[in-house]
Amino acid sequence: MRRTWSAPGRPGAPAGLLPRALAGTLAGVLLLGGLSACTSGSSDGSPSASPSAGSGGSAGSGATEVQPAASRDTVATDDPALDAAVSSPVEDDVYPEVGDPGVDALHYGLDLRWSPAATRLTATESLVFRATADARDVRLDLGDALEVRAVTVDGRTASYDHPGKELVVHVPVTKDQRYTMVLAYGGTPLPAAAPTTRSDFSTLGWTTEADGSVWTMQEPYGAYTWYAVNDQPSDKALYDFTISTTSGMTGIANGTLRSMTRQGATMVTRWHLDEPASSYLTTIAIGRYRPFKDRSASGVPVTYWVPATNPRIRRGLRPAADELGWIENKLGPYPFSSLGIVLVHSRSGMETQTMLTLGIGDYTTSPEVIVHEMVHQWYGDEVTPATWTGLWMSEGMAMYLQGLWQSERGHTPMSESLHRWRASEPGLEEQFGPPADYDPATFGESNAYYGPALMWDALRRRLGDREFWSLVRAWPKAHEDGNASYDEIVSWFSQHSGQDLRPLFDSYLLGRGGRAGR
């Protein structure tokens, strides 16, 4: 049974991006309880700054003279609930320049203060991590637009260097020991260039709109544009977020909203994510939002965060709670304690864990896209690819069930979708590479969607419906809160079906054996 982790000092809580080729009465407003300690507003209506960071390091290096105040969401290194976040990080085989397998992040406590008028982020971060090997320093990813003011490790001042997007903290660590790092930093976050040829997004991470509102999408990386992070899929961690911003705006993040408090000119929200997540599955949105509540037939609380200037847009999101039940019939009970959707000014959509981030548009908020992103909560979020060659694990199942949903709901027949995918797949593979061995400069192209969806259909025809759906339901549960490699998923399905399925997987995903063998 899953252990549910509680926020510090709080009682226990109850237990993809869209492919370019596809991009083409609710309850009232939430009334939420108070927060015991809030950030007070400054004279210009922006959140007040963090405690003074002293005369710390420059853009190149630094040794701080004062200690940063710990985040309000700091947890003890010996908290047994952190065991759920222990990972086995590996160097990514597509983007090895991001992330470090020497760090196993267990918990991020992020205290983020955003001034929309100044477009400035002032932040304190508490990171509990495990060293996976003896080392003389700790390496994290952090955007060079952000200036580090102070760093401590286990309460002691630490020196650091911050060349480019790499943050190197000079402190010796011992294998399997846990540490608490506290950082004070700030600046105007800038998004990172996306390694893709797609037309619906070209940057990743923190994105600021003209009115000072903010949103993030960061697959395959980009979380480092707004916090210090081991920004790779194989390292999952627990999260707490405290977001302070100008009154009238609201900060939204993953997990459960624990409190929303207005004090003077500042609005503070606190969010708690009680299941481990990879950094690309985190989300932040800050803007003028209005929340509406719903509930699925199975009892999952669902919240829609829509622009306050256009609350009627929530009507298009109504199918989410009902369609969650359709997915549960295929994949089993929803794996998390809550579900949300936040709408942002993007042209794409993202399966950010427990809080889908969707662009405002007819297609990106359509039922089939919502189904696609909800499927990822099982395939992609509950069990996550260990490296980015495994993107197909997430997108193939989401694409396949999107096609089934469209067929069963009387839209596009499944036979038509399969025919279209088969016709497109050879050209996509030639242009971008096989789904599990693609060109790193073409992340998220349709080759990662169509070929893998065809693979799942071929596996279904080979095993038969009963065994196929039994295994498809069992796989995420067997790897709950974990990661999986190509070899692991192939071996698992082969073992549990009693058949050697590697030739089938390889032919669709690695281009081995050719289509004649399919």
Q: What is the CATH number of the domain that holds 126?
A: 2.60.40.1730
Report yes or no on 486 lying in a domain. yes
**Spatial CA neighbour of 335 closest among 475, 231, 460, 471:** 475
Range of the domain at 439: 384-517
Q: Residue 291: is the preceding peptide bond cis (ω within 30°)?
A: no
Q: What does each of the 518 residues of the chain score in pLDDT, given as a tens digit?
A: 333 455 554 333 323 454 444 443 323 333 233 222 332 333 333 333 333 333 334 334 444 344 677 667 779 999 999 999 999 999 999 999 999 999 999 999 999 999 999 999 999 999 999 999 999 999 999 999 999 999 999 999 999 999 999 999 999 999 999 999 999 999 999 999 999 999 999 999 999 999 999 999 999 999 999 999 999 999 999 999 999 999 999 999 999 999 999 989 999 999 999 999 999 999 999 999 999 999 999 999 999 999 999 988 998 998 899 999 999 999 999 999 999 999 999 999 999 999 999 999 999 999 999 999 999 999 999 999 999 999 999 999 999 999 999 999 999 999 999 999 999 999 999 999 999 999 999 999 999 999 999 999 999 999 999 999 999 999 999 999 999 999 999 999 999 999 999 999 999 999 864 443 44
Report yes or no on 365 lying in a domain. no
CA 95 from chain centre, in angstroms, equals 17
Hey, is 486 helix, strand or coil? helix
What pLDDT does 5 receive? 52
Long-range contacts of 153-156 (CB under 8 A, 24+ apart): 153/179, 153/180, 153/181, 153/182, 154/179, 154/180, 155/67, 155/180
Report yes or no on 91 lying in a domain. yes
What pLDDT does 451 receive? 98
Last residue of a domain, one of 287, 316, 331: 287
Last residue of a domain, one of 272, 287, 302: 287
What pLDDT does 41 receive? 34
Mode of pairing for the β-strands spanning 159-161 and 166-170: antiparallel
Residue indicated by tokens 């222990």: 86
Report yes or no on 259 lying in a domain. yes
Report yes or no on 307 lying in a domain. no
Whole-angstrom distance, CA of residue 492 vs CA of residue 390: 15
> What pTM was estimated for this model as a whole?
0.88
Report yes or no on 17 lying in a domain. no
Q: What is the CATH number of the domain that holds 441?
A: 1.10.390.10
- Together in a domain, 111 and 236: yes
Q: How many domains does the structure of the chain reveal?
A: 2
Report yes or no on 342 lying in a domain. no
Report yes or no on 315 lying in a domain. no
